[in-house]
């Protein structure tokens, strides 16, 4: 049973992160990826440059939220965050350098200055303040297709040390909204943290890592997810349906998990809640509570706890928490 705990005062952020903004995937067949993400899922193609596609969802005015780059092995190249001002980029560089983490200024298409760095576990991160702006498409209903994705929402990572990851990102100004605790060890098994005022911009799930578990797109209506299931089950993507549809206990969101042709997991996500109040209390869940995964009690499949996307050139370690969740038979 979930319980409320007193909200801890938020630490002053060393620089101002607005939100999680983009992910770059390496895909092995750019044409197959385009058919999945554009023709089927319904993302909009902003640009195509050689071996790369730049995609955005229908509400997004930034040039892209997904970069797809063709390569020999599926991987995740980075997770990206927008900061408030260009000065925040300099403050971010000072923060990471002071912790002996790499700082590199990179050139990325359609973006202003880009700071590339890593967290203490090696997760490659990008921070930027400016990206080319494009006209909004949210009222261009003739362009709605697939699941009608509106915006990128969050990234979830497998983490070998969830307590450590939650503490580090809290030090960047992220606020804890929900967490799962293993009662036997007293350690966090999973944690959800936010900057933009809903349940999460980034989350961590106990497991061999770091690896990307999934990125998620916000969908306006759960019925769009049902319609999307009809579409993909009859157009060659039946085997790509991994989990759902359902309603999470954690976040209260209506969800569906699918995989792209290279196995990158995408969550389609709707109906979570607002967390902007400074005294918003984190919700605690027990690892053995069957409603934490799905409010209706259905456990997740084993693949959901074991399969993820490797970050390029990042070694994985086994988790420090040996707690076991409820897994579907």
Distance, CA of 210 to CA of 193 (rounded, Å): 17
Distance, CA of 216 to CA of 130 (rounded, Å): 22
The size of the chain, in residues, is 329
Q: What is the pLDDT of residues 276-297, one digit of tens each?
A: 998 899 999 999 899 998 999 8
Q: Check whether 9 has a pLDDT greater than 60.
A: no
Q: What is the mean pLDDT of residues 164-185?
A: 94
Q: What is the DSSP letter of 327?
A: B
Q: Which residue has the higher pLDDT, 58 or 3?
A: 58
Q: What is the mean pLDDT of residues 169-175?
A: 96
Q: Check whether 326 has a pLDDT greater than 90.
A: no
Q: What is the mean pLDDT of residues 135-140?
A: 94
Q: What is the mean pLDDT of residues 108-127?
A: 97
Distance, CA of 130 to CA of 63 (rounded, Å): 10
Q: Check whether 128 has a pLDDT greater than 90.
A: yes
Name residues whose C-beta falls within 8 Å of residue 66's C-beta, 6 or more positions apart in sequence: 22, 23, 24, 25, 37, 43, 53, 54, 55, 56, 152, 215
């Amino acid at each position: 049973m979930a319980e409320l705990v007193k909200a801890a005062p938020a630490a002053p952020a060393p620089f101002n992160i607005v939100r999680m903004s983009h992910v770059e995937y390496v895909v092995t067949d750019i044409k197959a990826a385009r058919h999945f993400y554009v023709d089927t899922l319904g993302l909009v193609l902003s640009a195509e440059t050689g071996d790369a596609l730049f995609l955005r969802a229908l509400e997004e005015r930034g040039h892209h939220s997904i970069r797809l780059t063709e390569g020999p092995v599926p991987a995740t190249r980075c997770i990206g965050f927008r900061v408030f001002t260009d000065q925040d980029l300099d403050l971010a560089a000072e923060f990471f350098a002071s912790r002996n983490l790499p700082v590199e200024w990179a050139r990325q298409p359609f973006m202003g200055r880009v700071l590339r760095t890593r967290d203490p576990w090696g997760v490659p991160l990008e921070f930027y303040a400016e990206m080319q702006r494009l006209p909004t498409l949210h009222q261009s209903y003739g362009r709605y297709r697939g699941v009608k994705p509106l915006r990128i929402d969050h990234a979830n990572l497998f983490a070998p040390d969830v307590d450590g990851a939650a503490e580090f990102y809290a030090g960047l100004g992220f606020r804890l909204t929900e967490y799962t605790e293993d009662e036997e060890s007293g350690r966090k098994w999973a944690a959800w943290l936010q900057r933009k005022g809903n349940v999460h911009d980034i989350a961590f799930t106990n497991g061999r890592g770091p690896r990307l578990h999934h990125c998620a797109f916000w969908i306006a209506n759960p019925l769009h997810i049902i319609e999307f299931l009809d579409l993909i089950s009859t157009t060659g993507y039946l085997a790509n349906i991994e989990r759902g549809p359902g309603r999470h206990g954690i976040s209260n969101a209506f969800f569906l998990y699918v995989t792209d042709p290279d196995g990158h997991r995408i969550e389609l996500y709707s109906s979570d809640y607002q967390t902007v109040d400074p005294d918003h209390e984190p919700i605690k869940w027990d690892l053995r509570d069957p409603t934490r995964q799905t409010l209706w009690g259905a456990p997740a499949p084993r693949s959901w706890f074991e399969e993820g996307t490797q970050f390029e050139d990042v070694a994985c370690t086994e988790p420090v928490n040996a707690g076991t969740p409820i897994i579907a038979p």
